[in-house]
C-alpha cells in the first residue's frame, strides 16, 4: 500500500505535514517531528525583523479546539535561515519554510533569504495582519484581497525558484476567487487554510477575554467541517496541489481532506491533543482505512467527494 504523495514536485513518504507555527520554532524540534513520522515539516512563520509577539496568555485549549494569538513571534529571517539550514541538512524529510511580510516586496525579500537554506517549498502566510495593529480584528488580512494575493505571489515567484505554496485564510466568502488568483499568479500549491475567526473565549469568573490579545485564531477538531469545505472549494477551482489543513486529528480526518481533493494534509493542533506521535499514528490509520476499503494509493480516493 502506497501513502506517498507529491506536492509541487516534492515527494513525501506520507501525506502528513507539520502545520506552520506548531513546534516549528527550531531545527531540533523540526527534526524531532520528522523522526516521529511526519511526511514534511513546516517552520514557524518568519518575518524580516524579529518580533516579540503578544504577551501571555497566547493560547488556550477551550475544550473543542485551540484558540491562539501568538502574534507571529519569531527571531527574524537571519536567525531563521540558520535553523532552517540545520533542519534541511538533518531532518530527512522535506522542510517547508513559512514566511510573511508587510508588503509584496517584503514577502519577496524574506522568501529570497529563506531560500538560501534550500527548503523544499516556501509557504507564504498571507493570512496575517498587514497593518500596524496586530489584532486580527483590527488588522487587514492580505488573503482577503485577490489582487494583493496575486501581487505577493508574483513578487515572490520573481525572486525565488523554490516552489511556493500560498496559505489562504478561510474567513472570506471569496476563497475560490482568491485561490484562483494565487494559482494564476504562479503559486505551485495552496495551503488551505489558516486558523478561523478570530474567536474569543471569556473567563466567566473575571468577565474578561482570556487571551491577552482578546481575540485569536480558532483551530483543532471544532473547525474540521469548515476546513474540509474550504479545501473542497479550493480544489474545485485550482489544479495545483492543496495542503488541506484544519482540524485533522486522526487518519479518517486525513482521508476526508484527501477525498475533498487535498494532496497532503496539514496537522497542527492535533499535536497538542495526541502528542508528537500523531504523525505516525495518522499514517498508520490512513493505511488501516485504505486496507479495509481496498485502496492501494491516495490517488484511488483523492477528490472522490468532488464527483
Ligand atoms: C499555536 C498556533 C500557532 C500558529 N502559528 C502559525 C504561524 O506561525 N503561521 C501560519 O501560517 N499558521 C500558524 N498557525 C495556523 C496553523 O498552521 C493551522 O493552519 C491552523 O491551526 C489549522 O490547523 P489545525 O486545526 O490542524 O491546527 C498556528 C496555529 C496555532 C494553533
Beta carbons of 244 and 303 less than 8 angstroms apart: no
Mean pLDDT for the stretch of residues 92-115: 96
Mean pLDDT for the stretch of residues 265-285: 97
Mean pLDDT of the chain: 94
Q: Which three cell numbers stand for residue 31?
A: 527534526
Q: Which DSSP state fits 305?
A: G
Catalytic machinery residues: 128
The domain that holds 133 is classified in CATH as 3.20.20.70
Ligand 1 geometric centre to CA of 103 (Å): 21
Structural domain total, the chain: 1
Q: Is 220 in the pocket of ligand 1 (CB under 6 A)?
A: yes
pLDDT in tens, 88-101: 999 999 999 999 99
Nearest CA to ligand 1 atom 31: 269
The neighbour count for residue 40, using CB atoms within 10 Å, is: 30
Q: How does residue 71 score in pLDDT terms, banded at 50, 70 and 90? A: confident
Q: How does residue 52 score in pLDDT terms, banded at 50, 70 and 90? A: confident
Q: Give yes or no for residue 203 having a pLDDT over 60.
A: yes
Q: Is 245 in the pocket of ligand 1 (CB under 6 A)?
A: yes
Euclidean distance between CA atoms 23 and 27, whole angstroms: 10
Q: Is 165 in the pocket of ligand 1 (CB under 6 A)?
A: no
Q: How does residue 136 score in pLDDT terms, banded at 50, 70 and 90? A: very low
Strands 189-192 and 242-245: parallel
pLDDT reported for residue 54: 87
Q: Which atom of ligand 1 is nearest to the CA of 20?
A: 17
Euclidean distance between CA atoms 244 and 256, whole angstroms: 10
Nearest CA to ligand 1 atom 14: 21
Q: Give yes or no for residue 133 having a pLDDT over 50.
A: no
Ligand 1 geometric centre to CA of 112 (Å): 23
pLDDT reported for residue 131: 39
Structural domain including 136 reads: 5-306
pLDDT reported for residue 197: 87
Ligand 1 geometric centre to CA of 124 (Å): 13
Q: How does residue 59 score in pLDDT terms, banded at 50, 70 and 90? A: very high
pLDDT reported for residue 134: 44
Q: Give yes or no for residue 132 having a pLDDT over 50.
A: no
Beta carbons of 135 and 162 less than 8 angstroms apart: no
Q: Which atom of ligand 1 is nearest to the CA of 223?
A: 25
pLDDT reported for residue 130: 39
Euclidean distance between CA atoms 174 and 148, whole angstroms: 13
Ligand 1 geometric centre to CA of 295 (Å): 30
pLDDT reported for residue 139: 57
Q: Give yes or no for residue 72 having a pLDDT over 90.
A: no
Q: Is 221 in the pocket of ligand 1 (CB under 6 A)?
A: no
Q: Give yes or no for residue 138 having a pLDDT over 80.
A: no
pLDDT reported for residue 3: 98
- Greater confidence (181 vs 24) lies with 181
Q: Give yes or no for residue 254 having a pLDDT over 60.
A: yes
pLDDT reported for residue 112: 98
Ligand 1 geometric centre to CA of 21 (Å): 5
Q: Which atom of ligand 1 is nearest to the CA of 66?
A: 31
Q: Which atom of ligand 1 is nearest to the CA of 224?
A: 25
Counting residues of the chain whose pLDDT is more than 70, the rounded percentage is 96
Q: Which DSSP state fits 176?
A: H
Q: Give yes or no for residue 166 having a pLDDT over 50.
A: yes
Amino acid at each position: 500500500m502506497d501513502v506517498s504523495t507529491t506536492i509541487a514536485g516534492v515527494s513525501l513518504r506520507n501525506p502528513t505535514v507539520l502545520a506552520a507555527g506548531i513546534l516549528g520554532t527550531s531545527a531540533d524540534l523540526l527534526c524531532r517531528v520528522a523522526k516521529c513520522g511526519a511526511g514534511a515539516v513546516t517552520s514557524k512563520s518568519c518575518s524580516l525583523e524579529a518580533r516579540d509577539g503578544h504577551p501571555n496568555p497566547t493560547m488556550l485549549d477551550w475544550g473543542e479546539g485551540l484558540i491562539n494569538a501568538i502574534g507571529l513571534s519569531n527571531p527574524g529571517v537571519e536567525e531563521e535561515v540558520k535553523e532552517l539550514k540545520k533542519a534541511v541538512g538533518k531532518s530527512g524529510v522535506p522542510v517547508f519554510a513559512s514566511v510573511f511580510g508587510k508588503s509584496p516586496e517584503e514577502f519577496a525579500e524574506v522568501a529570497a533569504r529563506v531560500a538560501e537554506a534550500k527548503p523544499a517549498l516556501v509557504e507564504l502566510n498571507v493570512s496575517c495582519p498587514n497593518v500596524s495593529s496586530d489584532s486580527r480584528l483590527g488588522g487587514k488580512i492580505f488573503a482577503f484581497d485577490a489582487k494583493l494575493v496575486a501581487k505577493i505571489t508574483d513578487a515572490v515567484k520573481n525572486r525565488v525558484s523554490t516552489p511556493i505554496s500560498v496559505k489562504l485564510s478561510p474567513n472570506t466568502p471569496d476563497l475560490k476567487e482568491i485561490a484562483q488568483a494565487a494559482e494564476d499568479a504562479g503559486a505551485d500549491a495552496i495551503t488551505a487554510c489558516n486558523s478561523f475567526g478570530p474567536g474569543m473565549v471569556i473567563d466567566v469568573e473575571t468577565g474578561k477575554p482570556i487571551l491577552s490579545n482578546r481575540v485569536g485564531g480558532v483551530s483543532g477538531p471544532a473547525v474540521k467541517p469548515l476546513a474540509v469545505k474550504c479545501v473542497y472549494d479550493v480544489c474545485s477551482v485550482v489544479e495545483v496541489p492543496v495542503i488541506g489543513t484544519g482540524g485533522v486529528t486522526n487518519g479518517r480526518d486525513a482521508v476526508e481532506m484527501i477525498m475533498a481533493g487535498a494532496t497532503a494534509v496539514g496537522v497542527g493542533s492535533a499535536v497538542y491533543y495526541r502528542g508528537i506521535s500523531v504523525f505516525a499514528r495518522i499514517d498508520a490509520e490512513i493505511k488501516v482505512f485504505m486496507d479495509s476499503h481496498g485502496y492501494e494509493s491516495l490517488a484511488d480516493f483523492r477528490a472522490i467527494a468532488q464527483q
